């Protein structure tokens, strides 16, 4: 119940600042529009063509990859980092609530509207592509686990604030990784095969490139299950790393607080 209050408070705060939502989606549409314009120019001049992607499918891929990224936000990294640097983490640690659980509930509340919109997009484009209900359900399950995996990674990155003095390099690094390794500029399958075989399993790709590719050019149930297993593996690794970093980070934090 205590996490429900955090979720509702986060959702209420998100809905209060509706202008931020409009700007967020407006800027995403603008970014996707620019990307589509560039790729249309490349296709029209036959300067570059992405294998297995017609121009229409490529446009849908870019749209889905960038809009899915709105639900898999990097915001938890900087919320936790700000709490650490400002000292507000102390207040949270004194409460009978899990740090991970509180941030997860807040994150779900903050992203709830985007999650609903993206689920509608998944169903719409899935139906448009003729994907079966069973496969769409499997994709939704995959996205849920991918969300926990990605959130765990963001918490780890946020805890680097225990050691970092300036946070702006962290923001630039995370954003760059998301854009480059998440397939938000182009399908990762366009990379050389030796590179793609490795990079397709990175956490950023798993939350944007994989579902976008599933809804455009298609993936078999076996392939999606394979990515789900990789996602669960990343989640386990991130949770172990999270506990280790939190343990050492809190020792440093409590030492600073006691000075």
Which residues touch 150 (CB under 8 Å, ≥6 apart)? 72, 203, 206, 207
Rounded distance between C-alpha atoms, residue 257 and residue 103, angstroms: 22
- Integer Cα distance of 85 and 192 in angstroms: 41
d(C-alpha 251, C-alpha 244), whole Å: 11
The one-digit pLDDT tens for each residue of the chain (259 residues) are: 778 888 888 888 877 877 777 887 888 888 888 888 887 777 776 656 666 677 788 888 888 888 888 888 888 888 888 888 887 888 877 777 888 988 999 999 888 888 888 888 888 888 887 888 888 899 899 999 999 999 999 999 988 888 877 777 777 888 888 888 888 888 888 888 888 888 889 999 999 989 988 988 877 778 889 999 999 999 999 999 999 998 888 887 765 444 4
Domain boundaries, the chain: 1-253
b/e 35-47 (16+ beta carbons within 10 angstroms → b): bbeebeeebeeee
Task: Supply 201's token pair.
Answer: 């399993």
**Closest-CA residue to 35 (of 66, 74, 70, 2):** 66
Closest CA relative to residue 40, chosen from 59, 66, 26, 27: 59
d(CA 188, CA 26): 25
Residue 77 backbone dihedrals phi, psi, to 5 degrees: -60, -50
pTM of the model: 0.87
Q: Tell me which DSSP letter residue 167 carries.
A: -
Helix (H) or strand (E) holding 75: helix 75-86
């Amino acid at each position: 119940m205590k996490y429900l209050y955090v979720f509702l408070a986060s959702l209420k705060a998100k809905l209060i600042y509706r202008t931020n939502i409009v700007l967020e989606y407006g800027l995403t549409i603008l970014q996707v529009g620019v990307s589509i314009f560039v790729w249309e120019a490349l296709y029209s001049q036959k300067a570059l063509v992405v294998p297995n992607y017609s121009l229409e499918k490529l446009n849908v891929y870019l749209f889905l990859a960038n809009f899915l990224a709105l639900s898999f936000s990097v915001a938890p990294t900087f919320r936790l980092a700000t709490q650490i640097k400002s000292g507000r983490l102390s207040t949270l640690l004194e409460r009978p609530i899990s740090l991970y659980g509180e941030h997860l509930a807040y994150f779900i509340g903050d992203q709830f509207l985007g999650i609903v919109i993206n689920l509608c997009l998944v169903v719409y484009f899935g139906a448009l592509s003729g994907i079966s209900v069973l496969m769409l359900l499997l994709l939704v399950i995959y996205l849920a686990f991918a969300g926990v995996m990605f959130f765990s990674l963001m918490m780890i990155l946020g805890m680097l604030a225990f050691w970092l003095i300036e946070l702006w390099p962290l923001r630039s690094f995370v954003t760059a990784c998301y854009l480059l390794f998440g397939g938000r500029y182009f399908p990762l399958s366009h990379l050389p095969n030796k590179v793609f075989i490795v990079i397709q399993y990175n956490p950023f790709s798993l939350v944007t490139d994989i579902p976008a590719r599933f809804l455009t050019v298609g993936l078999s149930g076996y392939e999606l299950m394979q990515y789900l297993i990789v996602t669960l593996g990343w989640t386990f690794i991130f949770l172990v790393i999270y506990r280790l970093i939190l343990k050492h980070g809190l020792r440093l934090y409590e030492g600073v607080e006691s000075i």
